[in-house]
Every structure is written in C-alpha cells, then in structure tokens.
Amino acid sequence: MGIEDDFYATIKFKNGEEIFCKVAASEEEDKTMLIVISPVMICEIKTKYGVSGYKVEPWIKTSTEDMFIIDIDNVLTISESIDDEMIEIYQNFLYKSERSKTNKTKLNRKMGYLANVKEAKISLENIFKNS
C-alpha cells in the first residue's frame, strides 16, 4: 500500500505516554506502522488561576533522530489534530530547537592560542616560575 499523507496527531500509547507529532501511516507486509516525525510531549502548566501555558519537550531526549517508526500494536488511540494553537506551539518548538542546533559555535584557531602538550607545559612552567 505504501505511505499515506502525513498529518498532525496526538498519539496515546498503551503504556500511558502521550505525544504530539506529525504522523504518516505505512502498510508493510500486512502490518501497519506509524512514522512519527519530531514527536514531543506537551504538558499543561497550571496555576491556581487555571491553565497558563504549555511545556513542550522532546519525547526521546537522548536521540538526535527526528523520525521514529512505531508499531500500531503499541498505540491505544490516535487523534488527528486540527487545533491551530497546538500546531503552532509544536512548530515554534521545532523552529527554536533547530535554530539552537545551528547556532553552536565551532572552535577554530582564531579563537585563541592552541599548543601541543609539550609547548603548553613549558609555557605554564615559565608562568609559574615568574610569579
């Protein structure tokens, strides 16, 4: 059958976890798999006055991958989202996290003096002796 068009959805797993992501369904060998793109967990931040915002964090924090394959057997329910506010929160999180990855400064020789261990040892010993 192949891969269906992707859509935004909330997925509730049998273990109780709930994620929000872009989803595409794929049929392979009589088995349905879900391809989830950049899944996040969204939690409501509640104050004594009610809901004041949302906390968004990656579903899997120790991976740099943004696409995961999930067996449909692990899913309790899936609900397509047309909530513009939730989609915007999701897209803003992805945009900001992508920007933070690309803005990391790479080290180069213009940032300061680089030396080998022998030269650095001699230099530090001279500084120590002269102080």
3-state secondary structure of 23: strand
Q: Which domains does the chain have, with CATH numbers?
A: 2-106 (2.30.30.100)
Alpha helix stretches (DSSP H) within 1-131: 84-102, 117-129
Q: What is the pLDDT of residue 23?
A: 94
Give CA–CA dist 26/3, Å, rounded: 4
18: Cβ–Cβ under 8 A, 6 or more apart, which residues?
Answer: 10, 11, 12, 41
Residues linked to residue 70 through DSSP beta bridges, in sequence order: 34
Q: What is the pLDDT of residue 61?
A: 87
Say if strands 2-3 and 7-13 run parallel, antiparallel, or are unpaired: unpaired
Kindly report, residue by residue over 80-117, the tens digit of the pLDDT: 999 898 899 899 988 888 877 666 666 666 666 667 78
Q: What is the pLDDT of residue 4?
A: 64
DSSP string covering 72-93: GGGEEEEEE---HHHHHHHHHH
pLDDT band at 77 (very low <50, low <70, confident <90, very high): very high
pTM of the model: 0.68
Kindly report, residue by residue over 3-29, the tens digit of the pLDDT: 568 899 999 999 999 999 999 988 888
Kindly report, residue by residue over 14-73, the tens digit of the pLDDT: 999 999 999 998 888 888 899 999 999 988 888 888 777 888 999 998 888 889 999 999
3-state secondary structure of 11: strand
Mean per-residue pLDDT over the chain, rounded = 84
Q: What is the pLDDT of residue 130?
A: 87
Q: What angle do CA 98, 102, 108 make, to 5 degrees?
A: 165
Q: What is the pLDDT of residue 128?
A: 85
Give CA–CA dist 112/125, Å, rounded: 19
